[in-house]
Amino acid sequence: MLRHVLAQEGVAATALEAKGIRSFKRLVQVSEMEVAQILDVSTTELEHLVARIALRSCPKPTLAFDMFMSSVNSPSSLRTTLAELDKGMYGGLPCGAITELAGVSGIGKSQFCMQLAVLCAIEFPDTTILYFNSGQNVSAKRICEMARARLSPMAYTTEAALCAKVSSIAQHIRLVPVSTLDELQTHLDGLAADLTGSCKMILVDSLASLAQESGLEMSLAKRQMLLMNVASNLKYLAAAYEAFVVVTNHATTKHHDGAPAYSHPALGVAWAHSITIRIILERTTSFSRTLTILKSSMSPHISFPFEIQRQGLVMLATTRDDDGDADEDAFDEDMLSWADLPVVDDHGTLLASQSQRSLGDEDEDKDEDEDGDMAAVKPSETAATSNAASRSNVSVMDTMFDIVPDSDEDGDAWASVPGW
């Protein structure tokens, strides 16, 4: 992050950014005379400045054993209490990464965020959780209810002790109302400028709403640039604080003729490349709510049903019968909350994701003449081709993705991953 490194050196990055110099790579590509003129310094001073920036920017070499011991002595993950999710992600949500929760309205994204905030406050009692809220999704009463349900009655035998602990947990969660991306960027810049705090978790709920509100008063290009700046700041803060960063995103349900219905997250492709982990929450035809790891560099694609209870999200223990009917005991008062949610096909989002990657690789190999030929294909022929691609991807999915509807065995999550 060139801007943050320059700030530590007492140099404003505004002039460089105005000339399109936003990274250290670009800084060393431009001639020394031009950069010295932009910063109004001598070439000798510029050489010393570049040397200091290089020392700050270049990562120091480390041994794999040292990294392992560091992870053992200082756990770098937060348990979500969802067994399949924690097992697939080697212990839980990783710190220093951006985790996105995407799904339709009412699926449980804010419930999951409040649950993670409570768990972080319990696991790291001497730290602060920053919760950037763009609407009326957060409830202090619900946070206290989750905290009370998470505490063991054996550890807090009296009501006074339990209430005191719940109050302590709530005091560590700071709710910051924001309405636009500009306000969020201002808060993040303030955090980046002052790294003396004890922030351990940053939650943004919801980033899609902030982008939508900002889109009403700025161009698409400016909004996209601001969104990338937010992503850059979140990455920097995640690394500087060793914090857990969680953002929520809206998703729409896509329907195509002959293809499975699937969830499509908002904010575009550029944002998708900025996040580290993408978790989809959706309602499927087989279960009321389903959680799917759609993108992660450390885990396979795992999918399992869940429900929302007093303590937050819990894995659904009841499975479907062979005839497709569910046990009657599995349905409670929560049924009314998800009855109106849009339904996607089982594993449809995973199939669509893999299909889009395959089609994207094929498109890169085609020249302009082939693109012109494809433009003349009739819609019916295009639909037939799409259906064939979807059918061919089913066999690929069987070997690449591990679907875990409900499992208690340790080896199930890695059963279909080569080498595990």
Mean pLDDT of the 159-184 span? 92
Mean pLDDT: which of 67-71, 315-319, 395-399 is highest? Answer: 67-71
Q: How far apart are CA 333 and CA 341, in angstroms?
A: 15
- Section 316-339 average pLDDT: 49
pLDDT for 195:
64
Residue 74 in tokens? 């200082």
Q: Which is nearest to 248 in space by CA: 273, 228, 220, 277?
A: 277
**What pLDDT score was predicted for residue 64?**
87
SS3 267: coil
Give me the pLDDT at residue 263, please.
77
Mean pLDDT score of the chain, rounded to an integer? 76
- Structure token digits, residue 242: 């060793």
333 vs 310 pLDDT, higher one: 310
Per-residue pLDDT at 225 exceeds 50: yes
pLDDT number for residue 390: 43
Would the pLDDT of 115 be above 60? yes
Average pLDDT score over residue span 245-263: 79
In three-state secondary structure terms, 244 is strand
* pLDDT of 338: 52
For residue range 83-104, list pLDDT tens digits in order. Answer: 999 998 988 999 889 999 999 8
Mean per-residue pLDDT for 225-243?
89
pLDDT at 414: 38
How many Å apart are CA 58 and CA 317, to the nearest integer?
48
Distance between CA atoms of residues 129 and 120, nearest Å: 8
What pLDDT, in 10s, does the model give residues 50-93? 888 888 777 677 888 887 787 677 667 899 999 999 998 988 99
**Per-residue model confidence (pLDDT) at position 339:** 54
CB 249 within 8 A of CB 203: no
What pLDDT score does 193 carry?
Answer: 72
C-alpha to C-alpha distance for 242 and 127, rounded to whole angstroms: 12
252: pLDDT confidence band, cut at 50, 70 and 90? confident
pLDDT mean over 144-151: 94
Note the residue count of the chain. Answer: 420
User: Radius of gyration (Cα) for the chain, nearest Å?
Assistant: 24
Lowest mean pLDDT, pick from 253-267, 292-306, 353-367: 353-367
Return the residue matching tokens 């046990």: 327
In 143-243, DSSP assigns E strands to: 173-177, 199-205
Range in 122-136, 137-151, 353-367, 368-382 with the lowest mean pLDDT:
368-382
Q: Which amino acid is at 303?
A: S
Is the pLDDT assigned to residue 194 strictly greater than 90?
no
Q: Find the mean pLDDT for residues 247-255.
A: 85
Per-residue confidence (pLDDT) for residue 10, from 0 to 100? 79
DSSP-derived letter for residue 325 is P
Q: How confident is the model at residue 217 (pLDDT cuts 50, 70, 90)?
A: confident
Once rounded to an integer, what is the mean pLDDT over residues 15-20? 82
What does the alpha-carbon distance between residue 243 and residue 234 come to, in Å, rounded to a whole number?
A: 10
Segment 311-337 shows an average pLDDT of 57
Residue with tokens 């949610």: 341
List the Cα angle 272/228/35 in 5-degree steps: 135
- Kindly state which CATH superfamily the domain 74-347 is placed in: P-loop containing nucleotide triphosphate hydrolases (3.40.50.300)
pLDDT at 282 over 80: yes
Q: How confident is the model at residue 102, as a pLDDT?
A: 93
98-76-417 Cα angle (round to 5) = 75
**What band does 343 get if pLDDT is binned at 50, 70 and 90?**
low
Nearest-CA neighbor of 346 among 320, 381, 372, 315?
320
Predicted pLDDT of residue 297? 84
Q: Residue 299: pLDDT above 70?
A: yes
- Residue entry with tokens 């066999």: 395
